[in-house]
Every structure is written in C-alpha cells, then in structure tokens.
Amino acid sequence: MKSRVINTKHLIKTPDGHYQGLTSELKPSLFYGNPEIEGIVWLQDQVTNKMSKWSLTDKKQVDGKIVWTYTVDKKYVSKSPNLEGKTFMVTFDLWQESRFAKRKRAGLVKVKGWKKREERKWA
C-alpha cells in the first residue's frame, strides 16, 4: 500500500486556515474515488513537521466536480490546537480512468502484505 501522507506544501491554504488540494497536484495513487480505502489521510505540516490524522466526513458535488471533506481527529487537535475547526478538502479535478482505477473504485483490488495478515487475524 502506498503511503497516505501528504505534506502541506502540496496544498493550498485558504485565508481562514483550511486546506485545499487538487487530485492533479497530489499523489495520483492516493485518490481513486473509493471512500472505504481512502477514508483516512495523514497530513504533515510543512513548518512544524507534525503529523495529523484526518478522516473523511463529507462527499458532495460542486460545479460538476466531486469534493471530499476531511476533518482532523480530536487526538491531534489536543496536540496541535491550531488545527481546531480546520478542514481539508480534496477536489477531483483529474479523474483516473485506467483499468486499475476502475477496479479500485469497485473494491476489486486484492489486499496485500501486512493489511491482509491483519484482516485474517481479526476475522
């Protein structure tokens, strides 16, 4: 599995402190459009190098483009109070149409490595 960490230098910071990202500017392997797999993202602050965990909370369509909104977990708000009330929005301006991307969106891609072992362990 690819790393789900995004550095904030790849994001646009709005005047009110929220983060925005375009799928064409981010890692192409992070966003195929499957919310079950892509429901958690880690952001690393460019200045402080602190990591924070963000969870998918909203999916909507704006001007014909899909927009996913992530909010920071409470545990990381206590560590970094400046993240209080902030959101991270991903706009799907580039939609991948490869065979692999279609299979990934449908949930047909096999789970490999440590994740497969964890699923077997808890089942």
pLDDT band at 120 (very low <50, low <70, confident <90, very high): low
Q: Please say whether the beta carbons of 41 and 54 come within 8 A.
A: yes
Task: Tally Cβ neighbours within 10 Å of residue 38.
Answer: 18
- Domain boundaries along the sequence of the chain: 5-122
The pLDDT of residue 123: 46
Cα(24)–Cα(96) distance, rounded to whole angstroms? 10
Higher pLDDT, 3 or 87: 87
Cα(97)–Cα(89) distance, rounded to whole angstroms? 22
Cα(123)–Cα(24) distance, rounded to whole angstroms? 37
Mean pLDDT of 37-66: 90
Higher pLDDT, 10 or 118: 10
Cα(122)–Cα(101) distance, rounded to whole angstroms? 28
State the amino acid at position 83 in one-letter form. L
Residues of the chain with pLDDT > 90, as a percent, come to: 31
pLDDT band at 26 (very low <50, low <70, confident <90, very high): confident
Mean pLDDT of 94-105: 70
List alpha helices for 1-109, DSSP H: 74-79, 99-106
Q: Please give the model's pTM, rounded to 2 decimal places.
A: 0.78
Mean pLDDT of 63-76: 91
